[in-house]
């Protein structure tokens, strides 16, 4: 008799409750990853996520082999694959860690019910969150829609579960089940190979995640409050893709940050550490919203936005996607995204505000672009964040909060380090002009080797005009006139 370990967004060996439970039984374990995107529909993994998944599975496979077992790769509907493995190998138990996307919840419940009907021990565990989404509620037993009280309730819920190390051995059958070849899944782009920037920027896998966490908690976390909004410096953890794929879990992050803070400052929650852990809590809040409002990725939580008349300016959208809007901080962010599959969080807010409020293009259009290009494309965080910027979600930014990309660039990239890296064609402009090249005198442009419209585009929209236009449409919406 064997135990099937169904791996999904938990691609690690340490702090993996389903793995721990499977090993504890003492029977052989069959670790399997099933490529099953049929139920996800339009939210099947995008190109950048598929690239990361290949690297993550490759790293996990090596770690499992080092412990005397083998990762089995299968393609097809999860229920059919699991039933096939049951018939082939005499499986008595099936364990997995939970996912919270609407289709995953429906699928998992169906599979669990069917397995239990066959007398098979089917169990699911929490590996991806500090607390289950249903366990944090208001005094009325309702879900939270505002972050600050959610964060207070999360902290009041107590210390997250303690961690368990990776098992030294994962008992295996004498004969391994048949497995797909990872390369046959076509996760890595070849024609064309657009992933060179991703390879330069990232190393998927549990070891890389732990290394990144160790480096961040050594010193950077204590300066997080002061540096997290500066895209030109290394002030963030960059753990988001590792968290998304479960190469590291939030409990591991939480306990490591607290331990480091105690060791270095004597306090479990110095300012930088507390601010960083509140960002981990924002991730929790996003899953809380997705669980309780499963249409979050598709529909605005504030229903009055459902009939808002967005623009359909394809040229403007293309300019935004290509990083050719004429606003340097926006273009730098979009080029960083295209090259590395990631974007600094402050810049994500700036580019999202520009798309939704300067260009009046639907937040869902931006959400889907990020879904395909981000290595950390996470359904809950992506949807909640876009709705926040658009003003139509939970704890949303008020409609009148419209980021001025020039002011944002000047404030958070004052010496132009970030812009010069990603928009090199204007790199010779002085600091005072780097975020507003259209304000430069002809002689200043000539000295920097820049001709607007040739070397770098003029702004595709006048921000002041666009701001007023957005405010008027939002006021009409507030008045019940659908922004028309």
One domain, residues 362 and 282: no
What per-residue confidence (pLDDT) applies to 173?
94
pLDDT tens readout for residues 44-76: 999 999 999 999 999 999 999 999 999 999 999
CATH number of domain containing 37: 3.40.50.620
Residue 366 region by backbone torsions, left for phi larger than 0, else alpha for psi between -120 and 50, else beta:
alpha
CATH code (residue 425): 1.10.579.10
Reply yes or no on whether 282 is catalytic: yes
Q: Quote the CA–CA distance of 417 and 422 in Å, as a whole number.
A: 9
Residues 49 and 86 in one domain: yes
With vertex at residue 399, the alpha carbon angle to CA 396 and CA 401, rounded to the nearest 5 degrees, is 90
Answer yes or no: do 142 and 285 share one domain. yes
Tokens 């936005």 locate to: 305
Active site residue 438: no
Distance CA 178, CA 466 (A): 58
Domain that holds residue 432: 303-478
Residues 66 and 210 sit within 8 Å (Cβ to Cβ): no
Active-site position among 6, 202, 363, 422: 363
* One domain for residues 337 and 369: yes
Q: Is 103 in the same domain as 144?
A: no
pLDDT 10s digits, 278-304: 999 999 999 999 999 999 999 999 998
Residues 317 and 463 reside in one and the same domain: yes
Of 103, 194, 310, 338, the active-site residue reads 310
pLDDT of amino acid 345: 96
Token digits for 208? 């890389």
8 A C-beta contact, residue 25 and residue 3? yes
Asked if residue 88 and residue 133 are part of one domain, the reply reads: no
Asked if residue 298 belongs to a domain, the reply is: no
Contact at 8 Å (CB) between 424 and 402?
A: no
Q: Which position among 79, 161, 279, 444 bears the catalytic label? A: 279
Question: pLDDT band at residue 202, thresholds of 50, 70 and 90?
Answer: very high
Same domain for 104 and 31: yes
d(CA 284, CA 130): 7
Among the listed residues 254, 386, 388, 422, the single catalytic one is 386
Q: Is the model's pLDDT at 395 over the cut of 80?
A: no
Q: Mean pLDDT throughout 23-29?
A: 97
Give the pLDDT band (50/70/90) at residue 396: low
d(CA 324, CA 30): 49
The H or E element spanning position 80 is helix 78-89
Number of domain units in the chain: 3
The reply to whether 468 and 400 lie within a common domain is yes
Tabulate helix, strand, coil % of the chain (nearest 5).
50, 5, 40
482 is catalytic: no
pLDDT band at 478 (very low <50, low <70, confident <90, very high): confident
Question: Among 202, 282, 342, 422, which one carries the catalytic annotation?
Answer: 282
Average pLDDT of span 244-261 = 97
Query: What's the mean pLDDT when you consider all of the chain?
Result: 95
Which of 106, 95, 408, 377 lies closest to 230, judged by CA? 408
pLDDT of residue 477: 83
One domain, residues 150 and 278:
yes
Tell me the pLDDT tens digit for each residue of 446-462.
999 999 999 999 999 99
With a CB cutoff of 8 Å and minimum separation 6, the contacts of 251 are 15, 130, 160, 161, 163
Q: Say whether 388 is catalytic.
A: no
Residue 325 lies in a domain: yes
CATH of the domain at 226: 1.25.40.80
Is the same domain home to 107 and 156?
Answer: no
Angstrom distance (rounded) from CA 346 to CA 118: 51
Q: Are 393 and 301 in contact (CB under 8 A)?
A: yes
Is 195 within a domain?
no
Report CA-CA distances (Å) from 336 to 169, 317, 325, 362, 451: 41, 17, 14, 22, 23
Bond prior to 8 in cis (omega within 30° of 0): no
Residue 201 lies in a domain: no
Domain assignment present for 427: yes
d(CA 44, CA 371) in angstroms, rounded, equals 9
Catalytic residue among 83, 345, 404, 482: 345
Kindly state whether residues 376 and 462 are assigned to the same domain. yes
> 471: burial class by Cβ within 10 Å (0-12, 13-18, 19+)?
middle
CA atoms of 168 and 73, how far apart (whole Å)? 22
What does the block give as tokens for 97?
């860690």
Residues comprising the chain, all counted? 484
Whether 173 maps to a domain, the answer reads no
Let me know if residue 167 belongs to a domain: no
Q: State the number of CA atoms in the 13 A half-sphere of 369 facing the CB.
A: 23
């Amino acid at each position: 008799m064997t135990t099937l370990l169904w791996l999904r967004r938990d691609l690690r060996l340490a702090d993996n409750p389903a793995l721990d439970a499977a090993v504890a039984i003492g029977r052989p374990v069959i670790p399997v990853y099933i490529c099953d995107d049929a139920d996800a529909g339009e939210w099947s993994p995008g190109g950048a996520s598929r690239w990361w998944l290949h690297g993550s599975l490759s790293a996990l496979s090596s770690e499992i082999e080092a412990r005397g077992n083998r990762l089995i790769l299968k393609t097809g509907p999860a229920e059919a694959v699991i039933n096939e493995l049951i018939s082939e190998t005499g499986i008595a138990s099936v364990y997995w860690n939970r996912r919270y996307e609407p289709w995953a919840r429906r699928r998992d419940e169906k599979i669990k019910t069917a397995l239990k009907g066959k007398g098979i021990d089917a169990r699911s565990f929490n590996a991806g969150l500090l607390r289950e989404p249903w366990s944090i509620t208001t005094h009325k037993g309702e879900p939270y829609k505002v972050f600050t009280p959610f964060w207070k309730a999360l902290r009041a819920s107590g210390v997250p579960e303690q961690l368990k190390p990776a098992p030294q051995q994962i008992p295996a059958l004498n004969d391994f089940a048949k497995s797909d070849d990872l390369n046959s899944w076509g996760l890595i782009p070849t024609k064309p190979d657009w992933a060179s920037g991703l390879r330069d920027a990232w190393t998927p896998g549990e070891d890389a995640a732990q290394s990144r966490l160790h480096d961040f908690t050594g010193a950077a976390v204590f300066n997080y409050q002061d540096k997290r909004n500066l895209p030109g410096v290394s002030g963030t953890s960059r753990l988001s893709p590792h968290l998304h794929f479960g190469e590291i879990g939030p409990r591991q992050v939480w306990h490591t940050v607290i331990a480091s803070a105690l060791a270095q400052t004597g306090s479990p929650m110095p300012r930088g550490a507390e601010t960083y852990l509140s960002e981990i809590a924002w991730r929790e809040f996003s899953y809380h919203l997705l669980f309780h409002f499963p249409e979050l990725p598709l529909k605005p939580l504030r229903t009055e936005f459902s009939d808002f008349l967005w623009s359909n300016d394809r040229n403007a959208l293309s300019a935004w996607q290509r990083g050719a809007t004429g606003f340097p901080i926006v273009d730098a962010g979009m080029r960083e995204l295209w090259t590395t599959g990631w974007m600094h969080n402050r810049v994500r807010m700036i580019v999202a505000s520009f798309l939704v409020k300067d260009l009046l293009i639907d937040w869902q259009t931006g959400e889907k672009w990020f879904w395909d290009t981000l290595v950390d494309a996470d359904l809950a965080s992506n949807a909640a964040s876009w709705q926040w910027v658009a003003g139509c979600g939970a704890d949303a930014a008020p409609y009148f909060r419209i980021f001025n990309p020039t002011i944002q660039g000047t404030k958070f990239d004052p010496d132009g380090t970030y812009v010069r890296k990603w928009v090199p064609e204007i790199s010779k402009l002085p600091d005072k002009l780097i975020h507003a090249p259209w304000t430069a005198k002809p002689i200043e442009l000539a000295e920097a080797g820049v001709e607007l419209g040739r070397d770098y585009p003029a702004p595709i929209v006048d921000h002041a005009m666009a701001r007023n236009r957005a405010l008027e449409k939002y006021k009409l919406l507030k008045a019940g006139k659908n922004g028309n």
